[in-house]
Amino acid sequence: MGTKLTIGKAINAGLRAAMDSDPKVLMMGEDVGKLGGVFRVTDGLQKDFGADRVIDTPLAESGIVGTAIGLALRGYRPICEIQFDGFFFPATNQTFSQLAKMRRRSAGALSLPVVIRIPYGGGIGAVEHHSESPEAYFAHTAGLRVVTVATPEDAYWMIQQAVTSDDPVIFLEPKRRYYEKSEVETGGALSAATPMDAARVARPGNDATLLAYGPMVKTALQAAEADTERDIEVVDLRCLAPIDYDTVTASVRRTGRLVVVHEAPLTNGVGGEIAARVTEECFYHLEAPVTRVCGFDTPYPQSRLEEHYLPDLDRVLDGVDRVFAY
Amino acid sequence: MHYTTAHEDTELIQLLTPDGELRDHPDYPLDISTEEIRDLYRDLVLVRRVDTEAVALQRQGELGLWASLLGQEAAQVGSGRALRANDMAFPSYREHGVAWCRGIHPKELLGLFRGVTNGGWDPYEHGCQLYTIVIGTQNLHATGYAMGVQRDGALGEDGTAVISYFGDGATSQGDTNEAFNFAAVNNAPVVFFCQNNQWAISEPLERQSRVPLYQRARGYGFPGVRIDGNDVLASLAVTRQALRSAREGQGPTLIEAFTYRMGAHTTNDDPTRYRVSAELDEWKQRDPILRMRAYLSDQGIAGDAFFTEVDSEADDLGERVRRECRELPEPDPLDIFREVYAEPNSHIDRQRADFAEYLASFEDAGANEGR
Ligand SMILES: Cc1ncc(C[n+]2csc(CCOP(=O)(O)OP(=O)(O)O)c2C)c(N)n1
């Protein structure tokens, strides 16, 4: 059953499927009810599942994640919506100190099947604290799974996989791609979908690997397309914790060159980790040092400058040139 | 419906009725000249005009976003005019009326929403800190600042008081509750000014609180009062008194200004999805500007000539706001790296140099290829 869906609508459909198939699944957050969320990702869910399962919470992120932990301890599977990336931070204590560590502390007696959905990244001309890329904080915290989507197909299936996972999952939604539309195969079993922690070769190629995730996958694909002289492979990482190094290193062993692209600041970012690991595992296959094309080590700038902050087609191509010029 | 309950509330402090009648309140004497009353009216009209223009500018693509204060002018102007020069205000993001009273030029506000600045004004020059978007955070900052004022011994008749602005939704945040408690146990000279405009985006007050907000103050150990937030005179008188009490070392007060957000939450929001138009119609009857105008003319404090003069002043201001918005300079790309650290930082220096070189490569290419 193929249908054309945007990423936003695909997440909506995935949430709906998850709620349909398990009455323990709850949705909670600010404005998720009547309004359907500020991005309308939860549109219609409260109407169909009721205000007991789609809960408009008080305006308190620590409260949202903290009570979700309690609900999970009671056998529910809460999906929290944090309205924007920059508003996650009030919930850090609950997430990093509690949610991520409880399973280990209880020697496996407790499961925390909590999903925290966060619209993240820039490119929508927003005001402050609406364009953050916090993925490295999450990926650096043991006990959390961190995923992000780049296509409607992945959006539909991965949100369901996140909900059925018995681990806490940080589900990062690239907000500037919410309106990207493509075919989604909504039929079939969840178990048949590509696992959410597997990376995906989005475009095969032989000369260099461009690795991206979330909002940058589209830009990476455009760059690969634009480079008519070279045959560029694009890998969509999908899962930032744990990282599917097998797919990444297999690609780099073949192409010999790697450019990692992300919007988040360069220093101590996910790209640095990948560069280190690829250097360890593929040293003799590399034709050039791993290169990173990332956001700057500055606060996200005012919106009139975000086009300069965000890696764009030219900056990605510039990075590709660097691994060939070596 | 929820908004009628407080309307009947006997604890609601109101000096000017919706019909424009002035009523004395035993606890809140209004010590004000007719000149000041006229000025308050002028402020209300001008602030509303800035807001109307900003909404229009957003529609024309000149601003990325705007959070309208429509309906909340009286709460903001009354409390804003109660402040003295050496007081310090901690706004949220909708406090255009407060900013106006603190002498912040409207174009500074527009710069933030246009995306050419990240802040825009010198907080110390104006006695008004930068807008805050993360809900509730400024309440702790205000409390800490007030604790500093205490330590500086800057209390007393000519001392400094602090005021913090936030919404009904913000009362749910941990930060707000922690701020209430810190302020209480430290007896800090801070006034918590909550504009209860009934909505936190789509969530009505019932999703934030089961008790009237002003009553929460009791649990922390300081007074809470509810005022008619559409009554600029009540806002002025009650805030003055709360600031005085703070200055005199009697600690914090919570003021709940009971008002209504007449517009959308921001220009991105569509309130028809969650609220009924009857509610808006009801609140239009309590418009803060109309009641002042009725009072001024009924009392013969001002006549047509004055109203015409204020309107034309508003027209001029509107024109100026539109022009100055369009004239705001575009930031330089290398501004991204400015003022991130006070001391030199090698990461930034290196990235700035690399990026400058990268940008220059386009200019060279442009010169060669005519790109
Ligand atoms: C910590 C945090 N969570 C969520 C948001 C998103 N948000 C922006 S305004 C708003 C509603 C605020 O309502 P209220 O405090 O009543 O103030 P109002 O906008 O009505 O003046 C929300 C949820 C935010 N800015 N900060």
Q: Are B214 and B226 in contact (CB under 8 A)?
A: yes
Nearest CA to CA, how far is B262 from chain A (Å)? 18
Tokens coding A123: 């490119």
Index of the ligand 1 atom closest to the CA of residue B173: 1
In this complex, which of B116, B175, B202 lies closest to A302 when CB atoms are compared? Answer: B116
CA of B92 to the centre of ligand 1 (A): 9
Which pLDDT score, from 0 to 100, does residue B5 have? 45
CB atoms within 10 A of CB B218: 12
Alpha carbon B19 to its chain centroid, in Å, reads 25
Give B206's strand partners. none
How many whole angstroms separate alpha carbon B51 and alpha carbon B89? Answer: 20
Taking residues A101-115, what's their average pLDDT? 94
pLDDT at A108 over 70: yes
Mutate to test the pocket of ligand 1, among B92, B133, B201 (most ligand atoms within 8 A of CB): B201
**Residues B115-167 pLDDT 10s:** 999 998 999 999 999 999 999 999 999 999 999 999 999 999 999 999 999 99
Task: Report residue B161: phi and psi, to 5°.
Answer: -120, 160
What pLDDT was estimated at residue A170? 98
Q: How far apart are CA A267 and CA B338, in angstroms?
A: 18
Asked about A140 being catalytic, the answer comes back as no
Lowest-confidence segment of A290-299, B10-19, B101-110 by average pLDDT: B10-19
Nearest to B239 by CA among B96, B169, B231, B172: B231
Whether the per-residue pLDDT at B71 is higher than 90: the answer is yes
Q: Which residues contact residue A175 at a Cβ distance below 8 angstroms, ignoring those fewer than 6 apart?
A: A39, A84, A119, A120, A121, A123, A124, A215
Of B240, B225, B227, B231, the closest CA to residue B21 belongs to B231
Mean pLDDT of chain B: 95
Average pLDDT over residues A81-104: 97
Q: How does pLDDT run across B225-280, given as a tens digit for each residue?
A: 999 999 999 999 999 999 999 999 999 999 999 999 999 999 999 999 999 999 99
Amino acid at B112: L
- A86–B202 C-beta distance less than 8 A: no
- The phi-psi region of residue A156 (left if phi > 0; otherwise alpha if psi is between -120 and 50; otherwise beta) is alpha
Smallest Cβ–Cβ distance between B348 and the set A59, A129, A298 belongs to A298
Q: Give the model's pLDDT for residue B151.
A: 94
Is residue A255 within 8 Å of residue A208, measured between CB atoms? yes
Give the pairing of strands A239-241 and A145-148: antiparallel
The confidence score (pLDDT) of residue B2 equals: 42
Average pLDDT on A124-128 reads 92
Q: What is the rounded distance in angstroms from the CA atom of residue B142 to the CA atom of residue A11? A: 40
Identify the three-state secondary structure at position A96. Answer: helix
User: According to the model, what pLDDT value does residue B367 have?
Assistant: 63
Which DSSP symbol is given to A81? E
Q: Cite the beta strand spans of B212-350 per DSSP E.
A: 224-228, 253-258
User: Measured between alpha carbons, how far is A242 from A142 in angstroms, rounded to an integer?
Assistant: 10
pLDDT band at B363 (very low <50, low <70, confident <90, very high): confident
The pLDDT confidence band at residue B369, using thresholds 50, 70 and 90, is low
Main-chain phi, psi angles of A4, to 5 degrees? -85, 125
Over residues A189-233, the pLDDT tens digits come to 999 999 999 999 999 999 999 999 999 999 999 999 999 999 999
Task: Report the alpha-carbon distance of residue A309 to residue A302 in Å, rounded.
Answer: 10
Residues from chain B contacting residue A130 (CB–CB below 8 Å): 133
Q: What is the pLDDT of residue B1?
A: 36
Compute the average pLDDT of residues A43-67. Answer: 97
Average pLDDT, chain A: 97
Number of the ligand 1 atom closest to the C-alpha atom of B196: 16
Residues of B in contact with A309 (CB under 8 A): 336
Are B275 and B263 in contact by the 8 Å Cβ rule? The answer is no
Q: What is the CATH number of domain B2-327?
A: 3.40.50.970
ipTM strictly over 0.95?
A: no
Angle, helix A216-226 to helix A313-325, in steps of 10 degrees: 60
Contacts of A297 in chain B (CB under 8 A): 340, 347-348, 351
Residue-wise DSSP of B121-179: S-HHHHTB-----STTHHHHHHHHHHHHHHHTT--STT---EEEEEETGGGGSHHHHHH
Residue having the nearest C-alpha atom to atom 25 of ligand 1: B134
Torsion-angle region of A118 (φ positive above 0: left; ψ -120 to 50: alpha; else: beta): beta
- Looking at residue B7, its pLDDT comes to 44
Instruction: Please name every residue paired with B196 in a beta bridge, in sequence order, or none if there are none.
Output: B258
Q: What's the pLDDT at B3?
A: 44
Tell me which amino acid residue B299 is.
Q
- Please answer yes or no on whether A126 and B169 come within 8 Å at the CB atom: no
Of A38, A59, A309, the CB nearest to B172: A59
Identity of residue B340? V
CB A27 within 8 A of CB A54: yes
Query: What percentage of chain A has pLDDT greater than the value 90?
Result: 98
Question: Which residues of B fall below an 8 Å CB-CB distance to A?
Answer: 64-65, 93, 112-118, 133-136, 169-170, 172-175, 200-203, 207-209, 268-269, 273-274, 330-331, 333, 335-337, 340, 347-348, 351, 355, 358, 362
